[in-house]
Structure formats: structure tokens, C-alpha cells
Amino acid sequence: MVALASLLALAVTLFPAGVQCLWPQPSSIASGATALKLSPGFYIQPDVSPPPADLLAAVAQTELYLRTDNMQRLVLGRGAYDISSVQSAKTLSSLVLSLESGATVESISTEAVKALGSRSEGYTLTVPANGSAATLKANSTLGLYRGLTTFSQMWYEYDGQIYTISAPYDIADSPAYPYRGFMLDTARNYFPVTDIYRTLDAMSWVKINTFHWHITDSQSWPLIVSQYPELAQYGAYSSADVYTPTDIQNIVSYAAARGIDVLLEIDTPGHTASIADAHPEYVACNQATPWSTFANEPPAGQLRFTDPAVRNFTASLLSSVAKTLPSSMFSTGGDELNINCYTYDNQTQAELNSTGLTLEESLSVFTQTTHGALIAEGKTPVVWEEMVLDHNVTLANDTIVMVWISSADAASVADKGFRLVQAPSDYFYLDCGGGGWVGDYPAGDSWCDPFKTWQRAYTYDPLANLTATQIPLVLGGEQLLWTEQSSPTNLDPIVWPRAAASAEVFWTATSPGGGALNVTEALPRLHDIRFRMVQRGVNAIVLQPLWCALRPDACDLNA
């Protein structure tokens, strides 16, 4: 008995009281230190009339997670020392969901794809310690979905008993930023639909609400476009490595039911060599060598945007895809345009001479034409930062700009008055530090070394160097995976749990005390969500030896 008491005391010392289970951290949370059991007959009651089908599906999924997570606490004994307090604890039998008075009942899927700034993701969640019903309230079904995500993270299991040791809970939560994203490139290497589904699941668990899908590039064109089937027919890696219109709709629907908007990107006019497989007449410097003279990476090839036929083709292509998608946003890329490609292209030079336009003026005509087609479909154009900082093109005032080259560029974009998404490579590129992938290169480093740790991402300040008038232009941010060295075999461990870091940066923004987010405080919670991801079938990489995960702070640098 003395030995057991000593071990219990040691466990308490190494695992101080507090909520170690929630990611992202709610914006406001009060919790206790009372054990509470989940009844074997626990149920979630949606007091919403009529309950949308995707809300009922979310309820069923949450109940399944509660029963099957089998998540043990990350402490010495993995929960064995909780048994005495849990045995005498009260039992929670139900969670009641309701919408605030006057709220309109819409599906999660409908709420998830509303324009940025018009979505309601906040909720309040109360879990009493006395066993009376827990309550979850929100102004929308999307808010209820976010609350269900939080509720599912509160519980642990030991010896068949599901419980928490931190009741009561009183949470009032809402995101600091409306855009919280993850970008996946499916053109360098192809990812089956099932991998995308699993990624969307993991995104939803940490309240990421935008799947930025970089679906095409110079290496391949996996997107089957009904109006232009030849693009994938000739540009995909194989007939199996494609996304059919049905695949796209299924992915969009799957995402929306999990509170995620799909922002599709068809990068233009650069990164389009794969179009030449079907339409060589539309592409300048196709397969030109040495590729490093004409492109940032092989193969070379960019749309010949000075050609009116190319402008019309691209506008029609983007419009035909955009009209099939519910999102209010659509990205046309616009990064890494190589000028040499056009300088040495005889047709481009002839067209410039014929029209009297400069290359930049012609680029502006192309951009206005393609963006005009998107705007006609009710879409807000999204571009990479070069379209604002490096080129003299006319963009609609509501265009959204992705900042990627450097975190220092955000102020320059904001200075031009554009709304922006923070996606800087010096903090958020998940592919950095993996070594160089081009051949005949003994140095073998990557252009954006070093590896971007979760700690690096977590310390990012989205508002650094911005003025008070520029701050409202920041919509949020995202972590990104360019897949030159990624495939389905290593997707999960490269992305997770690192991508959860920015999820908390843009949901929570500050520590519970109002100060900067702190990696020491965050690490035990990130361990927790990583272990829970593994329990749910996501192969998230370990953060530390298990010895450290079971002893918070024991492996800190100066411990």
C-alpha cells in the first residue's frame, strides 16, 4: 500500500493537474479536478429540429470515437492510478445539443462553405461534475460540430471505463481567424481518394476548416475536366492516377460534412507544362533544357498567355471547374513565373510586337480575363504573392493573397490593401529539410532548409510587423505540403501532428492568460492529440520517446 501511494504521489508530481487533452486550446476554458465517468449507455441528443443528416452523422461519429478511441492517459501507469477516484465518480449519461434562440437550422455542409467571415464556428460546452446532462450550444450546426470535436477529446479509457479527471468543464470557444488551412499538392505525386479522406478527418479533429488542394502542376494533370477530358487523358501519370468529377464531388462533400471548405487551385500561367501533353500549341518553352533556365523545377513549360486563344481556353477551363464547386474561393496560383521562357519564345515575342503590349501588360490582360471568368461564377480569386509584389497586374480589390516566400512579405502585401493568408515557407512548409530531390546534386540540400519543426510553426506570429490598420487584412494561415518527396507511403507522418501547430495558432492565437503561445505548455497536449490520431488510424509521427511523453517537462532542455 505504501509503495502504491508513493507511485501515485510520483505520478501526480510528474503530471500536474490541468487539461492536457484539448487541441486546439479553447479560447476560454474553466475546468476542475473531479473524476467523471461516461455511462455505458451514454448518448448525444440533438435538440435541433429538423436535425440535418450531416449533424446526425457527426453525432454518430462522435459516439463511435468515444467508444473506440481507447485512449489512455499519458501518465505513469497510463491511468492505473485514476481507478480509485473514478470508481466513486458520478456518471454522465447524455450530451444535449441545441441552437441558440433564433438561429437558422442549416446543414454543417452548407455552413462550412459560406464566405469567409460569415461562418459561425463558436460554441459553448458545459460538462457538470455531478452527472447531470452536459450541454452544447451554438449559433449554427457548424459550431455544434466544433463543440463535438472538443467533447470527443476530453475522455480517456482504462480497464474498460471511459472517464475524465477534469470535470467540471465550462467552455466558451470560437476561432481567432476565419481561415485555418492545410495545403496538399497532388500533382508531383498522386494521392488516392482514401488518403485525402483520412487527411480531411485529421484536419477536422484540430478544427482546420480549409483544404487548399493544389491539384495540378507541370509534372502531371490528374484532374478530369468534363469539358476538357484530354488534359487528364494525356497529362495524368496513368489512367488510374486521376480524380474524376465524381471523386471531386465526393471529396468536397466529405470535407463539407466535416466543416471543411475545399479551395481548389489550378496554377496558371506557370506550372502548366502538363497541359502541353494535350495542347502543345498553348505552352511556351515546353520541355526546354536546361530546365533551370526556364523553370524553378522540371519540366519547363508555361502557358503562352500572350495568345488570345490561350486566354480564352484558360478562362473557359477555370470557369468549367469552378462552377462545379460550392466554395466561394478559387485559386489561380500565379507563382514562380519564369521570364526567360517568354523571352526566348518566338511566338510570344511576335504577339507582343503585334499588340504593342509589354509582357507585364499582357499578363494583366490574361489575369483580368481568367479572374473575370471566376468572378462571373461568383468566386473570389486567390493568388500567390508574386501577383501582387512582382508583377504589375490589375486584381480585384477582394482578391486573397497567399504569402509564401517569406514571413517578411506579409507587410508588403498588406500595404497594397489585399486580404492575405499566412503560408510562409520559413515557418509552414512541411517538405523543407528533407534533402534535395534533383539528381546529379551531391550537396543534397533543399532550398528551404532547415526542417520546419512543430515548435517553429507554433511560435509564428501572424501579426508581426503589421500596423493596426493592416491587422484586419490577415484572414488566417495554413501549413503546406509540396510532394516532390511525399506519397501515400509517408503522407501521415510528414503532416501529422506538425500541421496541428498552425491549427492552434489560428484558432486560439494566444495562451489562456492572453500571452504568446508557449511550446512548453503545448507539448503535452500535442502528444495527446497525436496519440489520439494514431488510435483513429492516422500514422502520426512520434514527437519524443515515450518516456518523455509520460513525464511532461522532464525532457525539456534545461530540466
Q: Is the pLDDT of residue 513 over 90?
A: no
Burial class (CB in 10 A: 0-12, 13-18, 19+), 181: buried
Catalytic site positions: 336
What are the cell numbers at 235?
497529362
Res 459 pLDDT > 70: yes
Q: What is the mean pLDDT of residues 375-389?
A: 98
Cα 344 to Cα 97, 124, 156, 285, 349: the distances in Å are 64, 61, 64, 8, 8
Residue 337 in contact with residue 391, Cβ under 8 Å?
Answer: yes
Which homologous superfamily is 28-173 in?
Chitobiase/beta-hexosaminidase domain 2-like (3.30.379.10)
Query: In which band, very low, low, confident or very high, does the pLDDT at 444 lie, cut at 50, 70 and 90?
Result: confident
Contact 472, 485 (CB under 8 A): no
Domain 267-398, CATH among 3.40.50.300, 3.40.50.1000, 3.30.70.20, 3.20.20.80: 3.20.20.80
Residue 511 has pLDDT above 80, yes or no: no
pLDDT in tens, 72-122: 999 999 999 999 999 999 999 999 999 999 999 999 999 999 999 999 999
Neighbours of 196 (CB within 10 A): 23
Domain spans, the chain: 28-173, 267-398
- 116 vs 125: CA distance, rounded Å: 24
Pick from 122, 301, 128: nearest CA to 209: 122
Higher-confidence residue of 1 and 293: namely 293
Phi first, then psi, for residue 303 (nearest 5°) are -60, 135
Check pLDDT > 70 for residue 311. Answer: yes
Read off the pLDDT band of 512 (50, 70, 90).
Answer: low
Is residue 227 left, alpha or beta, with left meaning phi > 0 and alpha meaning psi from -120 to 50? alpha
Q: What is the 3-state secondary structure (H, E, C) of 19-47?
A: CCCCCCCCCEEEEEEEEEEEEEEEEEEEC
What rounded mean pLDDT belongs to the chain? 95
Q: How confident is the model at residue 11, as a pLDDT?
A: 37
Would you say residue 12 has pLDDT above 80? no
The conformational region for residue 373 under phi > 0 = left, psi -120 to 50 = alpha, else beta, is alpha
pTM listed for this prediction: 0.96
Cell numbers representing residue 487 in the block:
506519397
